[in-house]
Structure 1
């Protein structure tokens, strides 16, 4: 599988995972409410709902599933992330609406012929007469139309756009003729699509990594809230103190993750909150204040790291990640378990000076533990430096100035027997980006102005690292 196809497939998987987690959860939530408290589930049926039931309308209705998959493989590479953000934003907002206003379709479908009955029975396995307003089908239809509008150019462009428009209108209209949605649902779905386009346009104006990071934490925040708020109801604890506590925990976590997302749009705030060491002690341990709104993200990154380590997504071989230069020795690592940390500490004992650069705001540093494990007989001087960088944070001038000042200090000290350890959560992006910056500065090159030849030279040096994500932070 080539890189482009892999990237498109990963984007599709992300969209499907978000949909597969959020949509069935709210469907099951409304179904549980119908069983316990039917009066809590309403309807938006109105006098405008005079659309007849048309059994074969399930054919254009089903085209939405086809377009959902196909769109990720036909849009341009530049449009891929925009399509993903549009669909994810629409899904998340819709599912929050489904939770806040549980609704169901007001009418029962009439008896239909055997020819179409199996289609609706299959539909009932993946969808229920809940999750009404806004209609995700209508929302997706408009998003597909806008995202796929420029796929075909040249002489067939006009015919293609007419066909695409007809398909998208048919998908939105089929939600009415299949008696899956009311008119108000479709109107709200189209309004949601417009909101998704506006929000995605704002995200697109930000640096690429910033927009990705914001969308990531918004998604985690919504899923965190829905999980805590819905699961107790599904377990039969509706209306109890346990359900209320779980909902409060969901709101707390959602607020914390949304706050992190907002920080990416305000990089100067990150510098104030993190680089000034207000979140960590001088040895890399979290201060009590960091466990306020930051607790959910700390928990999430601990779980992500444990999963990555268990699945060998994190490099276990410390020895092959060491890079030697005339001025210093440098390496990039992720969070480490005790046995590997002990190995690293013994290796660090060979050097007169160890500079531990903490590039991870979401996890406590291993610095204090590593220094404790080191051989006390060695005359190694350990120094902790907190850069205060968040996951996927773009390396702007503020961060670069910190790195340049660090490099100038190393150069002025003139101690060649120095080991620099750059640590982030997984050792794949932020820590590698800092390492690239220090290596570039050592060569007298500005990290933000690397030529193609410079990048090729860096890639040959960083042969054992996953560099692609690190380069994006510097682009």
Structure 2
């Protein structure tokens, strides 16, 4: 529709890709039949693939081809330049329907050609058989169907030869790229970026033509915003594409107080706005459904000195209640104030591990709340994990470095507490609360907390699943997110690092 509207407003903006060779190509009405096979093969292909890997690869290829083609249609709109007289035979109904649903625009590249090649390659090995002639017959039939679909684009006068060539080139590029895509999240954000760009840019075009006085300003502004959106989501897709993104903190940088830096905002403002909105709406929803009652998460005691708790990013208004509950076991700040007369030998500290790469941490509000209750030091550590990024993407070394820093903070504070109370030798004089937090859900925070408990030896490979079900019954940590191999490595880490000698 955009190309049609653009042609009506500025015909010179639409390109003509006809060559002298196109004039020699005959119009064959009956080729409307194989032309229609493209949609049938497209739908059937999803039922023919046998494994989830084949389905993912097929989906990646078709989505990538569609995304790139739509972007090319926007930046280089083209129109079929020949006049096609409607035939007077049995094919006329097919061409009449084609005229309704497929205008002679969006020519380069031909998606019929791209899809034919991509589907042919994706379905090539589907018919596995011990008899070679069965596989050969299947591949011959598949090749014939895909070839006829590709040829039909020019023989029905829907495309020019350059469109056909462009479709083939696009298919080859997609085949090369799809084999390097790490997961569906890369495709997801490329699609969101491209769709957002097209919606904003085309919306600006229509709005500009409604208001002719500021048409150029509106259209240019829309293009700038659309380009910014596309670039941000493309960079996010690149971050997910990295095998070990934790090693490169340039993506989502934060200050020492857990706030996203200005440079990060400049790169990812659309994504950050989306995640802040999700966090706000999620907290509002839980508040409404719980009728204003705060669901306090109970810390799990590793020993009599250290407790751990996983949480989403907490609302500023709820921090006092959470903090009082974590430190003293009371569910309200009013009751915790009765503890102001605690003996000086009792010490507390909080260690916040921020796993939410896309949103600022609650640590700076938590520190203010802690000082309002009792002078409690708050330490901040940052492990930037992307949303739904498998925990196995992070190097074991990065986990171990984080856990050793947690241990160092715990031991250092414990030493200071013992030194301060050396005369009285009061035991249990220090309580450390370790808070793993993510954005809104609990997948990231529970997953890394489980790895830490495995590292400490509190959990084993045999009981960690039952522990999750007991303490976080609503959590959904699938094997792809927290793989068994990572659990086994973390559980055996200390025995490997410090082998027992006999």
Out of 131, 138, 153, the position equivalent to 2:106 is 131
Residues 1:402 and 2:420 aligned together: no
> Partners in 2 of 1:57 and 1:158 — Cα distance?
25
Partner in structure 2 of residue 81 of structure 1:
56
**Alpha-carbon deviations, 1:127-169, whole Å to 9, x = none?**
3221111111111111111111222211332222222222222
TM-score, structure 2 as length reference? 0.75
> Partners in 1 of 2:47 and 2:186 — Cα distance?
24
> Partners in 1 of 2:281 and 2:125 — Cα distance?
40
**Alpha-carbon deviations, 1:63-117, whole Å to 9, x = none?**
3223333323332112222222211221121112111210011123322348544
Report the 3-state secondary structure (helix = DSSP H, G, I; strand = E; otherwise coil) of the residue aligned with 2:112.
helix
Cα distance, 1:56 vs structure 2: 4.2
Structure 1 residues 127 and 405: CA distance shift in structure 2, 3 A: farther
Residues 1:347 and 2:325 aligned together: yes
Cα distance, 1:185 vs structure 2: 0.9
Structure 1 residues 381 and 324: CA distance shift in structure 2, 3 A: same
1:359 touches 1:388 (CA, 8 Å); kept in 2?
yes
Partner in structure 2 of residue 98 of structure 1:
73
2:246 touches 2:383 (CA, 8 Å); kept in 1?
no
**Alpha-carbon deviations, 1:150-194, whole Å to 9, x = none?**
222113322222222222222222222332211211121111111
Which 10-residue stretch deviates more, 179-188 or 302-311? 302-311
Residues 1:430 and 2:403 aligned together: no
Residues 1:235 and 2:213 aligned together: no
> Partners in 1 of 2:89 and 2:272 — Cα distance?
54
- Superposed, 1:271-286 pairs within 5 Å as 271-273=247-249, 279-286=253-260
Report the 3-state secondary structure (helix = DSSP H, G, I; strand = E; otherwise coil) of the residue aligned with 1:385.
strand
Structure 1 residues 470 and 306: CA distance shift in structure 2, 3 A: farther
Out of 429, 432, 435, the position equivalent to 1:421 is 435
- Superposed, 1:158-197 pairs within 5 Å as 158-197=136-175
Q: Which of these two proteins has the greater Rg computed from alpha carbons?
A: 2
1:138 touches 1:171 (CA, 8 Å); kept in 2?
yes
Partner in structure 2 of residue 39 of structure 1:
12
Structure 1 residues 299 and 58: CA distance shift in structure 2, 3 A: farther
2:208 touches 2:219 (CA, 8 Å); kept in 1?
no
1:221 touches 1:254 (CA, 8 Å); kept in 2?
yes
Out of 224, 227, 239, the position equivalent to 2:196 is 224
> Partners in 2 of 1:29 and 1:346 — Cα distance?
58
> Partners in 2 of 1:116 and 1:160 — Cα distance?
28
1:32 touches 1:233 (CA, 8 Å); kept in 2?
no
Report the 3-state secondary structure (helix = DSSP H, G, I; strand = E; otherwise coil) of the residue aligned with 1:273.
coil
Q: How many residues are treated as equivalent by the alignment? A: 434
> Partners in 2 of 1:305 and 1:135 — Cα distance?
42
Report the 3-state secondary structure (helix = DSSP H, G, I; strand = E; otherwise coil) of the residue aligned with 2:77.
coil
Residues 1:358 and 2:331 aligned together: no
> Partners in 1 of 2:218 and 2:274 — Cα distance?
22
Out of 30, 33, 45, the position equivalent to 2:3 is 30
Cα distance, 1:34 vs structure 2: 0.5
Report the 3-state secondary structure (helix = DSSP H, G, I; strand = E; otherwise coil) of the residue aligned with 2:385.
coil
Report the 3-state secondary structure (helix = DSSP H, G, I; strand = E; otherwise coil) of the residue aligned with 1:464.
coil
**Alpha-carbon deviations, 1:274-323, whole Å to 9, x = none?**
69xx83233322222222222232123334546666888xx979748646
TM-score, structure 1 as length reference? 0.78
Which 10-residue stretch deviates more, 425-434 or 151-160? 425-434
Cα distance, 1:195 vs structure 2: 0.5
- Superposed, 1:144-159 pairs within 5 Å as 144-154=119-129, 155=131, 156-159=134-137
> Partners in 2 of 1:132 and 1:270 — Cα distance?
42
Note the aligned Cα RMSD (angstroms). Answer: 3.5
